Amino acid sequence: MFIEPNLSGERRGWIEVICGSMFSGKTEELIRRLKRAKIANLKVEIFKPAVDKRYDENDVVSHDANVITSTPIENSQTILLMAQDVDVVGIDEAQFFDAEIVSVCEKLALKGVRVIVAGLDMDYMGKPFGQMPNLLATADYITKLHAICMKCGNIANISYRKTNEESQVLLGEKETYEPRCRNCFHE
């Protein structure tokens, strides 16, 4: 990732979005970037939606069991209240946050904060998910990750739901979802 040098001396923030299907490594990449920021002695705060209790009630945990301490929150405005005097803010599962998440990220970036957001860009029907399209539109940097299709072995970009549940939000893991490529998803 190329970061433009800032010759004026003022700190400039930006928004990075990591997106893709389930099992593509989004949270793994978020944790990697946040740990590197901590190694650089930057002040880091990490947030996740309180509704996501799959692996841990508080921490952000990847499917590969990498962990980073986070703060579960009910709404995105809380991030502005809790992220005072920080260099980097990490946000996991952004698709579950309210419509204000985009303006929260924008405000943080304007204050000179590096904002790293991870989330599903599409739901189980292959449709744009939550505020992710708006975050992608306002991002300075985008990383789209892919999983491996469980049917054919090609790259996968859609989280196929293996149950008949029709609500858009259904927290689950490998028993509920599997990554599929475009062709296998539409079969």
Between CA 55 and CA 63 the distance in angstroms is: 8
Between CA 52 and CA 120 the distance in angstroms is: 13
Neighbours of 18 (CB within 10 A): 27
Q: Annotated catalytic residue: which of 29, 93, 100, 178?
A: 93
Strand pairing partners for 72? 48
CA angle at residue 152 from 149 to 155, to 5 degrees? 40
93 catalytic residue (yes or no) = yes
- 111-135 CB burial, b ≥16 within 10 A, e <16: eebbbbbbbbbbbbebeebbbbbeb
What amino acid positions are annotated as catalytic residues? 93
